[in-house]
A = this chain, B = another copy of it.
């Protein structure tokens, strides 16, 4: 499996965004800072993986984690400047989706 790279930055960028749930989490955070439990409730993602993914996005400098030492503890996740810079990407996905994606049909079990 050899690679002939078009552009290594773009390929790395795509890799970051292609990780499962990454774009969906960013999509949520574009509407403002959110707590862990709010993101968890909004997406069909497991807490285990959300925790992992947020940590990765934090390491990439896309997401910011802020602890409020209240009771019970409140932790807010928000987008960094690098994260907010992804807004045009998400907006383009939005308009593509509106134009081309059919809403999922609910399938009964």
Contact = CB atoms under 8 A, between A and B. Distances in A.
A101 B16 contact: yes
B97 A92 contact: no
Q: How extensive is the interface on chain A, given as a class? A: 35 or more
A103 to B, nearest CB: 5
Number of copies: 2
Contacts of A97: 7, 9-10, 12-14
Contact of A27 (B14, B45, B96): B14
Contact of A11 (B9, B11, B24, B99): B24
A87 to B, nearest CB: 9
Interface of A: 1-4, 6-24, 27-28, 31, 40-46, 82, 85-86, 88-89, 91-104
